[in-house]
Chain A
């Protein structure tokens, strides 16, 4: 029970565990150490990100060359999925639904929150661990079976879920068994998120080091705190909705099924009286805050990396914090902008497009703060900084292209087209994922004690940056041409044939991006063995995680850290060093000999 009762005497806990070696399975498998759990989450998520991307690379063959047999993989995947080597439409839909689900729920969120949140947050607040280490372990061990169950659905009769990651009923209710497995996995994954989120809130509120007031917290911690509240409040409705849909599928209920459905000429034998739109409300009540669950930790990471590499305090730190808190609140009242085309009343749609315009303001403020943080800096362009810098214009494209979708009149034309795909991928792929890469390169030395290779890192960045824009930029033009999303064969339509050449460009971009990630994978593993060894603070950073050894042992800090100042005190005038860490007292000098303010 020591793990759950140490709030208030963290130091003692650190000593309890620091001095005896745990057996392998306690240290690396059923670990209660937030850093190990963070690494477990991060590695699992990276594997799923690559897997989810592979699904998309297969779909890109069908989109670039509709109806042509796929080389190599066409034969490997069996006659049901790929009759004669040509992708079947139902398999295409499975790949699409699973790509979305995996990238969001098994990839980005677990990496941003489960991985970075777990690893970095306690270190940045000077805590020896999370408030509830066993709950933390439980969170991962509910998550992983959920993931495995999700992937296993490919082997179910009729294949995996194939009704989109949104799983709109009635389609999802009449879909094959894979959908049942999808729902069960979602219940597990959501449960895991809930366990994690409550733990984050308690940890950040209760376990900050001495002197670490809210206005001294690194921006990343603020972002994680808001994210945890979003997870806590937004996920339960989807968990409930998943159970309701499960009942519709298995127990003959009709929460989402209206009366009088006729499927393939047969009357559907259900009670009826339900509403398909109810699901959409419950789903998007989660899934819009979910967008901010994806983006807020990413913004937090960008802030850390930008402050560190511009060698100056963040511009508008408090403004940034107010903005993310406001974003968090507003994200609960914009969900129905995903549903403008469902025939809602004009009062409702006017309300939701107004809230949608309001939520764009804090995003503009955040971007302004990031750009102004560059002004007056002394910018080091290392790999983390390259990714963090690229985040800014990429997220800007994603944000700006949200405007025509958030306004009802322009949404009439653009809704459910490739424009939407371009828009949210700019937010999530070259936006969030680039920030996550920045985070990986930035905190890798802390997690492993070694630096990743800079040359490979820069190759990884530049090639990814080029490829990813070849993927998502053409999608805006396809969307403008009116091309619907989720089409197995876009050339069925004349307006699709007009932009088919772009599909070939996009596909080559995607395969190129896939290849480039091999550079990252090689760098990631190679650096574990042969990366340059680093001391506690290789980036000359100011926040608390850099006070701990690299890698930190169980219990994190050798001495209990005390915080003396704001998080980003870089280039303070009159100091010999261009950084004044939070954890170094004025009297002991600012890490440099002879410099006194």
Chain B
């Protein structure tokens, strides 16, 4: 993993939708800086100019400050623009334009204390049924071994492989408590709510090795609930899938690694 990409500001954005989020963050901060510095200069000047000193008295009558009204009106106008010009369209476009099924890779993600489980549909493009009642140490996703659709499903723990330049729709849920699926470089974040399956999507624009963090306090291991995000070239992704496809006739769960991976320390 390239550590040099992480500094004191936004890490690079490797998603299709992220540029607009970054743009909003940047516009917002320029706006905030302008307001703060502008008012700040006036504030400091007031403190100096109107300091108590011999011979100086305060002004009883309130000053007619039309400028403040114009500034307040300008703030309102800018906020309306930020709200309806920048934030809402970006949010609506991101939330409503989930890529079509046929074009996208689908992945099911189940969070648990303190690991991320990934399930890919495999060659047939169909997920096997899963049931909370079937969850066990060997079968962290509760995949039904009887379901033929699940025979070729690929599962992994804390290793999230996705192909570059392909829309990926992930369906997020949790087995136990609320976690939050957060990949900073992809500008995605979604709480995982037990009892709910929430779809979100992204499309990566470059390959690389990044990280998935849990963003919602989920217990004592919250800090180490980390997964590797591996954005592969289409060839590498196909190769990874082939290598990890379960051998025929065996229950798919056999391919899954341990339920409780060792705490991952660098």
Measured CB to CB, the residues of A under 8 A from B are 88-90, 93, 96, 162-164, 168-171, 174, 258-265, 267-268, 272, 275-277, 310-313, 315-316, 341-343, 346, 349-350, 353-354, 357, 360-361, 364-365, 367-368, 371-372, 374-381, 389, 392-393, 396-397, 400-401, 403-404, 407-410, 412-417, 477-478, 480-482, 484-495, 497-499, 502, 570-573, 578
Contact = CB atoms under 8 A, between A and B. Distances in A.
Nearest to B76: A361
A492 B63 contact: no
Contacts of B94: 409, 412
Q: In which size bucket is the chain B interface?
A: 35 or more
Contacts of B234: none
A378 B184 contact: no
Given A168-B178, A276-B194, A486 B3 contact: no
Contact of B177 (A171, A361, A374, A497): A171
B50 A310 contact: yes
B242 interface: no
B141 to A, nearest CB: 10
Contacts of A491: 266
Given A174-B177, A310-B50, A372 B87 contact: no
A376 B195 contact: no
A302 to B, nearest CB: 13
A171 B214 CA distance: 14
Given A170-B176, A400-B32, A481 B6 contact: yes
Given A263-B177, A267-B132, A484-B215, 19 more contacts: A96-B217, A168-B178, A170-B177, A174-B176, A261-B194, A313-B60, A350-B88, A357-B79, A361-B76, A393-B40, A413-B189, A414-B25, A480-B9, A481-B184, A482-B10, A485-B217, A495-B184, A495-B213, A571-B58
B50 A377 contact: yes
Interface stretch (B65-73, B120-128, B248-256): B65-73
B59 A372 contact: no
B259 interface: yes
Contacts of B175: 261-263
B77 to A, nearest CB: 11
A265 B3 contact: no
Residue of A364, A403, A482, A495 with most partner-chain B CB within 10 A: A482
B189 A349 contact: no
A430 B29 CA distance: 21
B219 interface: yes
A364 B194 contact: no
Contacts of B178: 168, 170-171, 276
> 4 shortest A-B CB distances, which residue pairs?
A258-B195, A482-B184, A376-B59, A498-B6
Given A346-B92, A409-B86, A379 B219 contact: no
A397 B211 CA distance: 31
A205 to B, nearest CB: 29
A349 B190 CA distance: 14
Contact of B39 (A396, A499, A578): A396
Contacts, number: 304
Interface of B: 1, 3, 6-11, 20-22, 24-25, 28-29, 31-32, 35-36, 39-40, 42-43, 46-47, 50-52, 56-60, 62-63, 65, 68, 71-72, 75-76, 79-80, 82-83, 86-88, 90-92, 94-96, 112-113, 132-133, 135-137, 142, 175-178, 180, 182, 184, 187-191, 193-196, 198, 211, 213-224, 226, 259, 264-266
Contact of A499 (B8, B51, B52, B176): B8
Nearest to B226: A492
A404 B32 CA distance: 10
A489 B50 contact: no
Given A341-B189, A401-B32, A493-B213, A368 B72 contact: yes
Contacts of A414: 25
A416 B50 contact: no
Contacts of A477: 8-9
A403 B11 contact: no
B99 to A, nearest CB: 17
Nearest to A164: B217
Contacts of B29: 404
Contacts of B43: 371, 374, 392-393
A271 B80 CA distance: 46
A171 B218 contact: yes
A571 B60 contact: yes
Contacts of A478: 8
Contacts of B184: 413, 481-482, 495
Contacts of A311: 52, 57-58
Contacts of B187: 412-413
Nearest to B90: A409
A397 B37 CA distance: 11
Contacts of A263: 113, 175-177
A361 B75 contact: yes
Given A263-B113, A265-B259, A490 B92 contact: no
Contacts of B218: 171
A84 to B, nearest CB: 16
A485 B218 CA distance: 12
Contact of A570 (B58, B137, B211): B58
Nearest to B175: A262
B195 A275 contact: yes
Contact of B220 (A90, A346, A407, A494): A90
Nearest to A570: B58
A482 B188 CA distance: 11
A374 B68 CA distance: 14
Contacts of B39: 367, 371, 396
Nearest to A166: B217
A484 B217 CA distance: 9
Contacts of B266: 491-492, 497
A344 B90 CA distance: 16
Contact of A400 (B35, B56, B176, B226): B35
B223 A488 contact: yes
Contacts of A88: 220
A481 to B, nearest CB: 6
8 contacts: A170-B177, A171-B217, A346-B95, A397-B36, A400-B32, A408-B88, A482-B11, A488-B220
B32 to A, nearest CB: 4
A356 B57 CA distance: 41
A233 to B, nearest CB: 27
Given A396-B39, A410-B87, A570 B60 contact: yes
A377 B50 CA distance: 5
Nearest to B221: A89
A414 B26 CA distance: 13
Contacts of A276: 178, 193-195
Contacts of B135: 262, 265, 267
A285 B75 CA distance: 27
Nearest to B56: A378
B28 A410 contact: yes
